Structure 1
């Protein structure tokens, strides 16, 4: 989440004007030590209209863990402290898939989709989105108003994407074979982390410049990543890093369903004497095998977003990071080989 406000520049503190050049923007990034947040901070720090970038993250402040309903606290603080702009980082999981596993095929921000969200993560994101929507237009303590918008990424890849490291280890444990769970006709958007971060930067800036257009809006993240088939993207990234990685076969739904049930039974029988390693659960499996894709240019139409990184640049950066990180990866444990 990005919050921003304007303060008089240190260089003109004695002469307050309304000129943009005489003022400096201060940005606060909550979760700024995370996978996406770190890239947002990096890009914000390169913008010459920003005086200061502040980072707030539970990784840096242990006492933050005592708070609950974090989004509500941030929005309340914005109103109390007269911070007029908020860009909230949500997820496509806030929309679906639902518990009936109904697909969404290349929809957009206006596509109607209903039903109870399947994943617990999605439910919390949907609750947070509701708070952000309701906070848009709320009165600040100085008489101004709060202006908010929402960014919804889907599957995000790039440097420091831990799931790519985990998949590489699994593939190496299977002699370089990269199997996959989603059926070959399943679609889900994949976006490079740098482009997701860039969309946040542009949205935050234009929320200030064009609030009548961006206020209360939601935007899906997108770039020119060439396919919506996740297993093909993963294979391209990992095989570019290590040519011995080859695409395997689709794991049938019924087989994974049985493995999940077996894992649950073993966990119940052996608890508390032994805790089996974490394993995929049924809601996550159902999400993986359900098409949930979108096709949109809303961010370009509203605030001129274009991907900062091309697919080739995104792939190169991700692959170089994977190569550098490979030497620090721990070999898979025996139970990983069985799974």
Structure 2
């Protein structure tokens, strides 16, 4: 499909956290020629600090629109060769808004598939999640795409997990569907783990608490392990996925397949990961770890309170009983298939990723001074 002019790629959710990293990596890669990159998002596009690409910025065009608007989405897909469907409603709270989560994650994905068929888009890469495989009743230790049950019987973040699974299944089922011009649609799904990096808005919340207190506390047992990776490395894997879909005659045809994503970031507990970043930003770090029973008890009462008011007013509360079980559990996955089939290697080392992230956090919290440079991980 590729030619000297290059391909046109549409990234839904392109103005968001992972979306901007995907756009940046597409601009800077030299694996295949790119003619144009379109970002499609409900919010304006503004580069996060430290993310502006080193080249090819003239190829980026931003379209403000919603994937819940089929007409706008179909128009945005005109003359597009590849769609990276990255737009999602992330809902980790105790009682998330089921209607909006399904509307964006499932109905919006259906709109994307329909737009691809209508506009003869031959390649579709879907951003799924490792949450489609997480199970409250059993750990996932270096699990592979074939060793886990999808969907999990007991998903941790039930509303979000189910919506992502349904959307992933929809995209993979759409593989080999006939387009308007008679050609076939090729699809794949990528399952990112927890993400850190420029533009992060989840870990920054926890770090903000630590900075205000002047001390970092560890939450969760060290034995509980969660998988995190640098956004730039996860975004770089999309380059290899697009390459494979564009060149289906190669040995590595990934049509209809799903992949867990990852990089060389150590498998930490969530508390250890946050503590590593906090140490680089604050002078003192606590070593005490609140026990599981205490954390669960607090979360239980907060969860009940959230349930009591949920019928009157929407209350986004990320700290709840399932979240505590997740923090004390073990959930990490192998990305060996990504390496073996696609030839993926992380673009950034863990040290580079850590330092780039700390630079962003310093800017975000207004801590840009030389004294912080000595706190960066060596």
TM-score tier after normalising by the smaller chain length:
0.7 to 0.9
Alignment partner, residue 35 of structure 2: 51
CA-based RMSD of the aligned residues comes to 2.7
Alignment partner, residue 103 of structure 1: 139
CA shift for structure 1 position 324: 1.2
Which structure's CA Rg is the greater one? 1
In the aligned structure 1, how far is the partner of 2:24 from the partner of 2:301?
44
In the aligned structure 1, how far is the partner of 2:318 from the partner of 2:270?
20
- Alignment deviations for residues 127-177 of structure 1 (CA, whole Å, 9 cap, x no partner): 111101110111111111111111111111111212232222222344413
Alignment partner, residue 353 of structure 2: 314
- Alignment deviations for residues 255-280 of structure 1 (CA, whole Å, 9 cap, x no partner): 22322333355557789999988451
In the aligned structure 1, how far is the partner of 2:269 from the partner of 2:109?
32
Q: In 2 relative to 1, CA 109–163 (structure 1 residues): closer, same or farther, beyond 3 Å?
A: same
In the aligned structure 2, how far is the partner of 1:213 from the partner of 1:40?
21
- Alignment deviations for residues 207-249 of structure 1 (CA, whole Å, 9 cap, x no partner): 212466211111111111133333222222221233x141432
Q: In 2 relative to 1, CA 269–235 (structure 1 residues): closer, same or farther, beyond 3 Å?
A: closer
In the aligned structure 2, how far is the partner of 1:206 from the partner of 1:29?
17
Contact kept? 2:267, 2:332, Cα under 8 Å = no
Report the 3-state secondary structure (helix = DSSP H, G, I; strand = E; otherwise coil) of the residue aligned with 1:26.
strand
Query: Of the candidates 4, 7, 11, which is equivalent to residue 29 of structure 1?
Result: 11
Q: Does 1:231 align with 2:271?
A: yes
Alignment partner, residue 375 of structure 2: none
Report the 3-state secondary structure (helix = DSSP H, G, I; strand = E; otherwise coil) of the residue aligned with 1:136.
coil
Alignment partner, residue 204 of structure 2: 165
CA shift for structure 1 position 39: 0.7
- Flag structure 1 segments of 5+ consecutive residues without an equivalent: 1-5, 7-19, 329-339
CA shift for structure 1 position 35: 0.6
Query: Of the candidates 102, 112, 127, which is equivalent to residue 148 of structure 2?
Result: 112
Alignment partner, residue 296 of structure 1: 335
- Alignment deviations for residues 61-82 of structure 1 (CA, whole Å, 9 cap, x no partner): 4665567311111011111111
Alignment partner, residue 124 of structure 1: 163
Report the 3-state secondary structure (helix = DSSP H, G, I; strand = E; otherwise coil) of the residue aligned with 1:250.
coil
Query: Of the candidates 146, 164, 169, which is equivalent to residue 185 of structure 2?
Result: 146
Contact kept? 1:86, 1:148, Cα under 8 Å = yes
Query: Of the candidates 222, 229, 241, which is equivalent to residue 262 of structure 2?
Result: 222
Contact kept? 1:94, 1:117, Cα under 8 Å = yes
Q: In 2 relative to 1, CA 264–107 (structure 1 residues): closer, same or farther, beyond 3 Å?
A: closer
Report the 3-state secondary structure (helix = DSSP H, G, I; strand = E; otherwise coil) of the residue aligned with 2:266.
coil
User: What's the TM-score, normalizing by structure 2?
Assistant: 0.74
User: What's the TM-score, normalizing by structure 1?
Assistant: 0.82
Say which is worse superposed, 56-65 or 315-324, in terms of deviation: 56-65
Report the 3-state secondary structure (helix = DSSP H, G, I; strand = E; otherwise coil) of the residue aligned with 1:213.
coil
Report the 3-state secondary structure (helix = DSSP H, G, I; strand = E; otherwise coil) of the residue aligned with 2:14.
coil
In the aligned structure 2, how far is the partner of 1:91 from the partner of 1:198?
16
Q: Does 1:39 align with 2:21?
A: yes
In the aligned structure 1, how far is the partner of 2:255 from the partner of 2:246?
9
- Flag structure 2 segments of 5+ consecutive residues without an equivalent: 45-63, 71-102, 368-378
Report the 3-state secondary structure (helix = DSSP H, G, I; strand = E; otherwise coil) of the residue aligned with 2:288.
strand
In the aligned structure 2, how far is the partner of 1:170 from the partner of 1:35?
21
Contact kept? 1:89, 1:150, Cα under 8 Å = yes
Q: In 2 relative to 1, CA 80–327 (structure 1 residues): closer, same or farther, beyond 3 Å?
A: same
Q: In 2 relative to 1, CA 70–298 (structure 1 residues): closer, same or farther, beyond 3 Å?
A: same
Alignment partner, residue 112 of structure 2: 74
